[in-house]
Structure 1
Amino acid sequence: MTYIANGSPTGPQTQFSTFNTSGTLEYWTDPSLTQTATYTTPSVAINTSNSTLTAGTVQWAPGQASFHPGQNGEIAYYSFIAPITAVYALNASFGGLDFVGPTNTNVQILLDGVSLFLGNVGGFGAGPSFASNTLSMTAGDQLLFEVSFNVPNPRGSGPFYYDTTGISATLVTAVPEPSTWAMIILGFAGMGFMTYHRRAKPALMAA
């Protein structure tokens, strides 16, 4: 598990130093970063059980993957590296997992650093989604699913504590014939890395 500390998707990667499991909730963090007394972020997590899990004010459905930005502007993300050159069908959806919240995050999908989608999660439950049946990828291309602070916050409410954001995605292509399908599911089995990188704080926050 890795993160990128210089804000560049192609920059040198550093491993997350800690893997934790609380029952069947698995999550990855880096305690060397500045943390709050209660939360260890940035982080990514997945509920590997067949039951809904609740930790504090966050709720994970069975198989639910999530990510949470860091308090110093770190961006948590999932990364997929295309195994073959092909046209893929991508379906991705995001939502707030904190039932007290409100969750208020920006979510983005990038292909080799080029933004394909940008949306906002603005509360508990279902949020924005993206779909494409004509996503051309070359073997080795990197697809990123990012979560970051929503700055400025249009509602003026909610600290970053509530920003645990759920993600669900499928990526499908015909391999090697149209009648034979390979499905790659974001989360427990399908993603190559669970990662974060540090992004400079917006000027609005630096004042």
Structure 2
Amino acid sequence: MNIKGLVLALAAGLSISTAAHAGVTVHNDDFLGATGNFNGFEGISSPFYPGTQSYTEGGIKVQYVGGQLTTLTTLKPYDQRSWTPLGGGLGYTKISLANGGDFDAIEFLAGTSALIGGSRLQYELFLDGAMVFSGFTGSLGNIHSTLKTIGFAGTAGQVFDELRVQNLFSKNFNDNGFDQLVLDNITVNAISSAVPEPATWAMMIIGFGAVGSMVRSSRRRQAYAFA
């Protein structure tokens, strides 16, 4: 096998190995602590917020996607404000970093505006438009229940750039489902785009080594030709 073939084979093997070990851990407690990105919706001055507008605080962008008119921001808050579709909405809430960057962990408080118990939290995690993880949690109780701490952390280098959440009585995520999620205190651990991933470093090292080998081989061939 020539050098080029060896490099491609090693890179392919490294990529497969990295993907096979990537994953997500679901947390039901405060695992993240303080970070540089926090959105508690406290910058909203009115009890109502236009449902067609996104809201950014602490570098975290939150937007409702679906059919509802306004977002009530005072129902079951942790402090003064929270985020929930007024009377329920037909859609979901999308969370991302305002700068479009990646993150490897996210934590938030979640509840429901449902009058009866039994509804769940449905979630989908994305990276570059592709879903990498999805599922649902247990019951969020009812409107009188305490908000629950829920979070997700990537393992083995797994990162995300978008989280979608909603509160339905079914198990499966539904883009147009009747959503009654109450959301508050979002914390995100952002990843610096200036630092390459471990897999990227490894591939760069392999590439540099291969280039060096090919240069030395070319010089030897030229020396033989002039001998």
TM range (shorter): 0.3 to 0.5
Q: Tell me which protein shows more strand as a share of its residues.
A: 1
TM-score (norm: length of structure 1): 0.42
TM-score (norm: length of structure 2): 0.39
Q: Tell me which protein shows more helix as a share of its residues.
A: 2
